[in-house]
Amino acid sequence: MMRTTTAEKLAKLQKTPQNIRNICILAHVDHGKTTLADSLVASNGIISQRMSGKIRYMDSREDEQLRGITMKSSAISLHYVHEQEDYLINLIDSPGHVDFSSEVSTAVRLCDGAIIIVDVIEGVSPQTHAVLRQAWLEGIKPVLLLNKIDRLILELHMEPQEAYLHLRQILEQINVLTSELFTSEWMEKSSNMPPNASEDLESWSADLNMVLEEEGDDSNIYFSPDQGNVIFASALDGWGFSISHFVNMYSEKLGISAAALNKTLWGNYYLNSKAKRIMKGAQAKNKKPLFVQFVLDNIWAVYQAVMIKKDKEMIAKIVNSLNLKISARDSRSDPKVHLQAICSQWLPLSNAVLSIVAKKIPAPTNMSKARIEKLMSSNSRSFESLPQKSQDLRNDFLACSSSEDAPVIIFVSKMVAIERKSLPQHKARPLTEADLQEKRRIALQKRAERLAAKATENTENAEDKQKSKENLSGDPVNNDTDLNGAVEPQSEHVFIAFARIFSGTVRKGCKVFVLGPKHDPEKALQNEQSTLLENSDLTVNELSSSQHIMSFTVQDLYLFMGRELEIMDEVPAGNVLGIGSLEEYVLKTATLCETIACPAFTDMHFEAAPIVRVAIEPQNICDMPNLVKGLRLLNQADPCVEVLVQETGEHVIVAAGEVHLQRCLEDLTDRYANVQIIASSPIVPFRETIITPPKTDMVNEAIVQMTDTKCLRMKNIENDIEEIRPGLIEIQTPNRKCTIHLSAKPLPEEVTNILEKSTEVLKYFQVQIKIRTSKGGQLNCTEINHVMDEGVRNLKKQLNDAFSQAGKEWQGFTDHIWSFGPRHVGPNVLVNKIPNYQRPSLWNITDDTTGILRSYDDSIISGFQMATLSGPLCEEPMHGVCFIIEQWDYLDSLNGTSSCCIGDTNGASEERKQDLTYTNEVAYGPFSGQLMSTIKDGCRKVFLTQSMRLMVAMYKCDIQATADVLGKLYAVLGKRNGKVLHEDMREGTRVFNIEAALPIIESFGFAEDIRKKTSGLASPQLRFSHWEVVDMDPFWVPQTEEEYLHFGEKADSENLARSYMNAVRKRKGLKVNEKIVEHAEKQRTLKKNK
């Protein structure tokens, strides 16, 4: 099949933004995204229709073809004619595996709509939830495609009526998810409204209700076949349809209006053949619904005739009635091929999908104001707080104009690595007639020169031969010059920016500003001239921490065509494009604009955060420069991976999961660094916490208080800890001038959960504290985000409620919070319980009280931050710990008595403070440093006095399997310390949905183990879920008689927490309390081998 469109035709279509549709395909893994993409690509003649679903055209990587899964999002532009109008479809295929959900985010940001695919056998899967949420958060319009309907016929052997009920259940499940997303957003908006905004909320609700009434049955929110946003399909067999196809077919035959039939073809309606009327209540009257009678029965008849009964007479009758033309080769070939030939002509999939896309997906010119404001302003800064010039750009987004006056606005969602030889500039192009004439002229000229050379003298011939040899061998001087002049060999890979233009027209030679993620248009506009002069020639590696603007001249523009690229001279607004030569200016994402008034686009939402890390080094130490260069390229090419250099000098890769990590290592070895590397065992984070002392021991016997106290004392002696009372210790600075009483207790679980979910609010809170402190409590109106301020107030209220519910001992703790940690945003709390210390509240930092204690207040906080960042068990961050400072006294430096109580914030004279500081610095260094290290050590010591526990990161593991392999599946989970949380059999199928929790440290090789044990019938999807306490003391040893009987004197049974802790300590080079020979009872052979 020849291509039905050309790059020139596509370039022409780019100039009509109202007929452009930017869409992506989203689904769970193996639900049929790439197969659907093949069908759509085949509609333009790029691949054969017969190879659709087999060639996987959009999967251009070798490992994608081998694994059979998509690992990166890729784009292609298609031409489609709908109702005599030409449409340009910019299609982006995306991965379904949870490890590559960052690629989904990069695709969704560039699109206006999405095709959500659901396998009707597996139903709504975990990744379906994720992609639907991503589409909702980005504000794009989804349409639903129910795929693999053929499996209901051939595998589950359902009758049409059963299949109809099954499809209706799946549709209801998806609409429940949509309703949850809508409700949560509405509640979040209403909760973040300021108290005086009730009128705005009422008007917003009224507008919403009006829209829903006008559209009819929430058509802009839910999926319903009668609304035209649902497609039924079998992508592998090449057919698909929306109910409008059958409405047009039957409305004339039945003499019913198309509008009435469209509303009743899906639903509880049936046809009264006698009255020739459509009636309600098909289910109650045991009648066939219209959808079963007019749609499913026909499809079932085709499959029965071709695949099951293989009835040639029936097949011929069906083909004739549908006016199809089936070739003799197709009719004599395999039944599957014959079926595909019939169905793809009767109900062509590409036509069904693209017609819905053209009708239902909005054009770039119809972008909503809400989505534009989301792109321009984040949660930490409202749209109204942007400068007026920045706010005016919203009109340019709405217009999507490609005129000369419109500013160029482009967003780069990721950088795509492409082999240099694959660029269109380096590919052989077909010769034109002028090129052939020029080659003919050169050939004739060379022939004439050779004939003339033969007629010359022998000496001249000899010289000519010598010259020809030199020409063949090359100019050695030039070669040497090139070799000596080449500072660095040219990289085999180049980076193409995967981008979309929202306004204006970008051309070669166009000058734009590259705006970093932290670009602030307000500051840039205030110092516009100096900013532009300073940053005119900088690249991303030369920017300082305060510089976020670079100047770039556009050189190469490309049109993505799947595995190929087409060169473009210009690209107007509303299109997806590729931009070359940006690797020196963009790391992962960037905003390109002709004006610095444009704010940087907001960060994309990633479903899976990088959590698994490995340390790497080259096998040959001389290859280290190549490895560092390769890591830089990998970091740029992958939107999710993180590349770090630790304090120890180790190079570390952080990935989203095991499959993602494997792909990163393969890319580093084979593509970017081209060196052999050594990777460490996967490094998984842990957390350290304390719990309420248990009341029973390891064999569920009541703990005797005396034994427990004795054990605790032994532990404290080893760590040189003296307790005033259980859980309270006294610490002193090295110069003995300051004494602090410090205690620790586990935070209530609800408080910890609230702090974990409020990271963004705490970050904003911390920024506001710094601004208020530096400006003496004064804030500009542009620095206030009312939405986030309301979030801070809600956080305080939630903490108050959670502390109140935890018991009387926690009453009033919210107002005494000194700091959160680690990094000021973690789930640990420092509390001020010092008598009479009138420290300003954390929630109101405008108090101007000063004094000696206030001067060293930051030292206390810094010590707390350092302690919570690395706990005493294995130097991992703490989690859910509350540290309480109960007393803080200074010792008088003159008479050795405690003359200054901590509660007297203004009681110390300036002379005493100076004398104290001078004495401290002479002997022990600055007092602020002494106090900081003392608090750090004190927090770690008081932590050791409690019941310590290790926390492991847990995956949520979703598996679909049949009853035959459930036993083997549970055996693998049990072996890896996993726990089954939920098990449910999908109605109408033999498939079980298993939801389990699995420690990430135990997950490596888990997917491969599952596939082996179940013969490939089960495949897990792993996603980070939560932190879970390992319910065993890392230092536990048998103590009671019952424990000795149960575990033995040697404690042969494995202490899981201790093994995890020791493994981390060994990796970090910390001391491990292990003996080389624990029990020397094994017989030794003393014979020496000669």
CA proximity to 321, closest of 294, 292, 346, 351: 346
What does the block give as tokens for 1016? 């490939």
CA distance 291 to 164: 8
b/e code 302-320 from CB counts within 10 Å (16+ = b): bbebbbeeeeeeebeebbe
What does the block give as tokens for 520? 């602030």
Span 777-800, pLDDT tens digits: 555 544 555 667 777 888 889 999
What does the block give as tokens for 952? 């492991």
What does the block give as tokens for 1070? 């910390």
Q: Where in 28-107 does DSSP place strands (E)?
A: 74-82, 85-93
- The winner for highest mean pLDDT among 141-150, 587-596, 790-799, 989-998 is 141-150
> What's the pLDDT band for 144 if we cut at 50, 70, 90?
very high
Judge whether residue 119 has pLDDT over 70. yes
Per-residue pLDDT at 292: 93
CA distance 913 to 923: 16
CA geometry: angle 520, 521, 525, nearest 5 deg: 125
- Position of tokens 């410090």? 742
- Region of poorest pLDDT, from 324-338, 399-413, 644-658, 784-798: 784-798
Burial of 78 (0-12, 13-18, 19+ CB in 10 A): buried
* Residue 443 DSSP SS3: helix
CA 1037 → CA 167, 717, 947, 1008, 1058, distances in Å?
Answer: 57, 17, 14, 36, 10
Do 114 and 23 touch, CB atoms closer than 8 A?
yes
Chain centroid to CA 593: 26
Do 451 and 464 touch, CB atoms closer than 8 A?
no
C-alpha torsion sign, points 518, 524, 527, 528: positive
> What's the pLDDT band for 78 if we cut at 50, 70, 90?
very high
What pTM was estimated for this model as a whole? 0.81
> What's the pLDDT band for 468 if we cut at 50, 70, 90?
very low
What does the block give as tokens for 10? 């596509």
What does the block give as tokens for 166? 């099954």
> What's the pLDDT band for 835 if we cut at 50, 70, 90?
confident
* Residue 645 DSSP SS3: strand
CA distance 840 to 849: 7
Per-residue pLDDT at 837: 74
| Kind of pairing between the strands at 20-27 and 113-119 | parallel
Q: Tell me the Ramachandran region of residue 904: left when phi exceeds 0, alpha when psi lies from -120 to 50, beta otherwise.
A: beta
Judge whether residue 2 has pLDDT over 60. no
Per-residue pLDDT at 482: 41
Chain centroid to CA 994: 24
Do 89 and 354 touch, CB atoms closer than 8 A?
yes
Burial of 865 (0-12, 13-18, 19+ CB in 10 A): buried
Per-residue pLDDT at 237: 92
Q: What percent of the chain has pLDDT over 70?
A: 80
CA 140 → CA 8, 111, 816, distances in Å?
Answer: 29, 7, 44
CA distance 873 to 1072: 11
* Residue 936 DSSP SS3: helix
Do 519 and 387 touch, CB atoms closer than 8 A?
no
CA proximity to 943, closest of 1020, 1023, 866: 866
Q: What percent of the chain has pLDDT over 90?
A: 35
- Would you call the peptide bond into 682 cis, given omega within 30 degrees of 0 as the criterion? no
Name the residue with higher pLDDT: 527 or 124. Answer: 124
> What's the pLDDT band for 523 if we cut at 50, 70, 90?
confident
Phi, psi of 928 (to 5 degrees): -60, -40
Judge whether residue 617 has pLDDT over 70. yes
Span 812-827, pLDDT tens digits: 888 889 899 898 899 9
Q: What are residue 617's DSSP bridge partners?
A: 678
CA distance 15 to 570: 10
Span 3-21, pLDDT tens digits: 678 888 999 999 999 999 9
* Residue 370 DSSP SS3: helix
Per-residue pLDDT at 298: 93
Per-residue pLDDT at 327: 84
Do 372 and 409 touch, CB atoms closer than 8 A?
no
Per-residue pLDDT at 1039: 67
- Read off the amino acid at residue 866: M
Residues 6 or more apart in contact with residue 1083 via CB below 8 angstroms: none
Span 371-428, pLDDT tens digits: 998 888 877 677 888 888 889 999 999 999 988 889 999 999 999 988 888 888 777 6
Chain centroid to CA 979: 26
Judge whether residue 1043 has pLDDT over 70. no
CA proximity to 496, closest of 422, 416, 584, 427: 416
CA 724 → CA 150, 728, 741, 945, distances in Å?
Answer: 74, 6, 9, 11
| DSSP code per residue over 473-507 | H--HHHHHHHHHH-SSPPPSEEEEEEEEEEESEEE
Residues 6 or more apart in contact with residue 226 via CB below 8 angstroms: 243, 262, 263, 264, 265, 266, 267
C-alpha torsion sign, points 544, 410, 566, 236: positive
Per-residue pLDDT at 64: 80
Per-residue pLDDT at 210: 45
CA distance 900 to 789: 38
Judge whether residue 126 has pLDDT over 70. yes
Name the residue with higher pLDDT: 337 or 491. Answer: 337
Does an H or E element contain 769, and which? helix 759-774
CA distance 1055 to 1071: 18
b/e code 594-629 from CB counts within 10 Å (16+ = b): bbbbbbbbbebebbbebbbbbbbbbeeeebeeebeb
What does the block give as tokens for 120? 């009707």
Per-residue pLDDT at 900: 45
CA distance 816 to 884: 10
Domains of the chain: 369-422+490-593 (2.40.30.10), 616-683 (3.30.70.870), 728-948 (3.30.230.10), 949-1068 (3.30.70.240)
Per-residue pLDDT at 698: 59
Average pLDDT, the chain: 82
CA proximity to 727, closest of 714, 738, 717, 712: 712
Span 693-713, pLDDT tens digits: 877 665 566 665 544 444 444
- How crowded is residue 555: how many other Cβ atoms within 10 Å of its Cβ? 12
Span 156-213, pLDDT tens digits: 899 999 999 999 999 999 999 988 888 877 776 666 555 554 444 444 454 455 444 4
- How crowded is residue 1079: how many other Cβ atoms within 10 Å of its Cβ? 9
Burial of 329 (0-12, 13-18, 19+ CB in 10 A): exposed
Phi, psi of 381 (to 5 degrees): -150, 125
